Amino acid sequence: MYITHIDTACILLEIGDFKILTEPTLDNAGALYYHGFGAFSRKTEDPALPLSALQDIDLVLLSHDQHKDNLDNNGRAFINSFPHVLSTTAAARRLKNVRGLQKWESYAIDTPKVPGLRITATPAQHRPAWIPEFISGMVTGFVIEYEGQPDGVIYLSGDTVYFNGIAEVGKRFKVGTGIFNLGAVQFRYLSGFGQYTMDSRGLIRAAKVLQPNKIIPVHHSGWTHFKEQTAALQKVLQGHQLTRERTIFLSRGERTLI
């Protein structure tokens, strides 16, 4: 299995010859984006790969479509006619070519490239606990299973804070590789220090309950609403025994064997 970090939470995941693209954020840096309910932020990094490098994609996994740091303008154009996109049921109502999954619903993909491939939607809470879900909208994570997985499933957290739903993932699945959306997203002029994604402390809590063999942080640089960026994140994770030994920080644009 290879992973290439392209932008924010956009990664290219290669399982044998099967290619999965997550969270297509493919715009160049510089623009100011509106995310809804008064939330604005600016993109500060370009994608590490050009659109022309994204060939022969088999599947797109999209945790949600309503925020530009998970699906920006070029990303939306990329999936506009793409036939195989899994996301939330809310995204499926808004985007014609998306299949929406309910929480814990599984979707089997019949492909000779990866026998027994199955995607399961997992819970995510993309908001502080005191803010209602409709403000941030519906979000999902994903579990990827296939025959012959040596160390457990692949877990994609999606945009979420730490909450009880993550512990439930650990009860239902043995996680081999966990890919976590971090950044401690905050809009302080709207909701103070309330977080919309995990910070390093949330990741450590998630690692304790999931016990993944490998921890891969993404979604921690490239936008002004990320309040815990890479250097601070690395310092905390390197200071904790569990995450120090298991965490892999990807180099943007580099195809990394996992």
Residue 219: per-residue pLDDT:
97
Residue 229: per-residue pLDDT:
87
Q: Which residues contact 96 (CB under 8 A, 6 or more apart)?
A: none
Residue 150: per-residue pLDDT:
83
Closest Cα to residue 250, out of 194, 160, 199, 177? 177
Is 178:214 a contact under the CB 8 Å cutoff? yes
* pLDDT tens for each residue of the chain, 258 residues long: 999 999 999 999 999 999 999 999 999 999 999 999 999 999 999 999 998 899 899 999 999 999 999 999 999 999 998 989 999 999 999 998 999 999 999 999 999 999 999 999 999 999 999 999 999 999 999 999 999 998 999 999 999 999 999 999 999 999 999 999 999 999 999 999 999 999 999 999 999 999 999 999 999 999 999 999 899 999 999 999 999 999 999 999 999 999
Residue 103: per-residue pLDDT:
97
Residue 81: per-residue pLDDT:
82
Residue 222: per-residue pLDDT:
95
Is CATH 3.40.1790.10 the classification given to domain 2-257? no
Global pTM exceeds 0.75: yes
